[in-house]
Amino acid sequence: MKELLETIPNFQRDLFWEGKTIFITGHTGFIGTWLSRYFLAQGARVFGFSNRTFGDREILDEPGFEKQIESYTGDICDVEKISDALIKARPDYIFHAAAQPIVGRAIENPKETLEINAIGTLNLLESVIKTPKVKAIIHLSTFQCYQRSVYGEELTESDRIGIENPYAISKCAAEGFVSYFRKTAFREKGIKATSVRLGSVIGKDDRQRERLMPMIVASLKNDEEIIIHHPRAMRSWIHVMDVVSGLVALAKAMGQNRTDDPIWNMGGCDGLSITVEDIVRKAIGLYGKGKYRLEQSREEHDRADIFKISSKKAMTELGWRPRVSFEEMIAESLDNLTDERIAGALRGLRPK
């Protein structure tokens, strides 16, 4: 347990979770892994369901984890497998993190993305109806469900959705299923359900090369030039442990009947919105070497891709606040790269 606690920044014991049963889909992925660590450290009983395709860092291989987490391997599109796992687990709380999360892959294979993200969510929801004891389910969604911020304004939960690519379409469809079940079958059974639109998540153990920070880290590690296609793209960046603390605060509020809202935003520290080029420059500066170049089409050059989401509702109603700064996020992501000279320079920036 000591090794487990040492992996979690700013860990604090919350007796609310001790003895609770937690079910996490996608538990071997980036966010799912950190959720699993957190709840295991809290003394909860944790079940995971994953096909292990999208997360090549396996939580089950980490010291102290393999005997604590009860893991099911299966496809979220296989309704019989997910239903069987839920009935055996009998969870109190469900976190649905399983997804095909990469926009580029969605464009190349929209059908597979729709099946995983939308039909997979539908399968889970239908299975929950047959599962006794469930108090709440949280679906992890995305800022991509919104239309772009035309003038850089912050997007709130009431703003219009904007299905601009197959990934966004699939997640909006998943949100639609959550909303439908929330108002029908779940209401009859007293099960709360919500979708959380997350900003761009950064942190240690993200192994998805298609995402920005893993791409930067891999390029620096291999002494390769970093290629940027959307330098002016602006996102609400958020650290993975701020995501975990927000999801935990929301689940607890749902379990205590303090909220039943259908949609929540969770973005970065103090509305942090930074361009892709700014992140690349900061990473190179902290690492101490590296270079990048821009490769843009005329359309990419002319259009600023801006998504700024407001987390004010979550901060006001849940008492949650993202705490990890921009520099701390970058420093932690570079952690595995650094030699002793660079590590010494970064040590003061890492989240405590």
Within a domain: 2: no
Tell me if 280 is assigned to some domain: no
Mean pLDDT calculated for residue range 172-188: 98
**231 pLDDT more than 50:** yes
Worst-scoring range by mean pLDDT, 3-7, 41-45, 146-150, 345-349? Answer: 345-349
**Mean pLDDT, rounded, for 31-55:** 88
Give the per-residue pLDDT at 208: 81
Q: Judge whether 4 lies within some domain.
A: no
Q: What is the pLDDT of residue 349?
A: 44
Ranked by mean pLDDT, the top range of 242-256, 312-326, 329-343 is: 242-256
Q: How many domains does the chain have?
A: 1
Least confidently predicted of 189-198, 223-232, 294-303 = 294-303
What is the domain range of residue 307?
A: 20-272+303-349
The residues pairing with 70 across neighbouring beta strands, listed in sequence order, are 47
Residue 229 pLDDT more than 90? no
Residue 29 in any domain: the answer is yes
Task: State pTM to two decimals.
Answer: 0.90
Per the domain annotation, does 279 fall within a domain? no
Count CB atoms within 10 A of the CB of residue 26: 28
Tokens of 222: 């291999």
Q: Is residue 45 part of a domain?
A: yes
Task: Quote the mean pLDDT of the chain.
Answer: 87
Q: Are 176 and 161 in contact (CB under 8 A)?
A: no
CA proximity to 326, closest of 287, 294, 282, 285: 282
- Residue 200's DSSP bridge partners are 237
CATH code of the domain in which 336 resides: 3.40.50.720
Rounded Cα distance, 63 and 3, in Å: 8
Most confident by average pLDDT, 2-6, 7-11, 212-216:
212-216
Residue 100 resides in a domain: yes
Between the alpha carbon of residue 27 and those of residues 56, 97, 168, 210, 245, the distances in Å are 12, 7, 22, 20, 16
Instruction: Answer yes or no: is 14 within a domain.
Output: no
Say yes or no to pLDDT of 151 above 70.
Answer: no
Per-residue pLDDT, 278: 92
Q: Contacts from 114-119 at CB under 8 Å and sequence distance 24+? A: 114/166, 114/169, 114/170, 114/173, 115/77, 116/76, 116/77, 116/170, 117/167, 117/170, 117/171, 117/173, 117/174, 118/170, 118/171, 118/173, 118/174, 118/177, 119/77
Mention every residue, 6+ apart, whose C-beta is less than 8 A from residue 312.
156
Give residue 302's pLDDT band: very low, low, confident or very high (50, 70, 90): very low
Q: Is the pLDDT of residue 97 over 70?
A: yes
Residue 53 confidence (pLDDT): 59
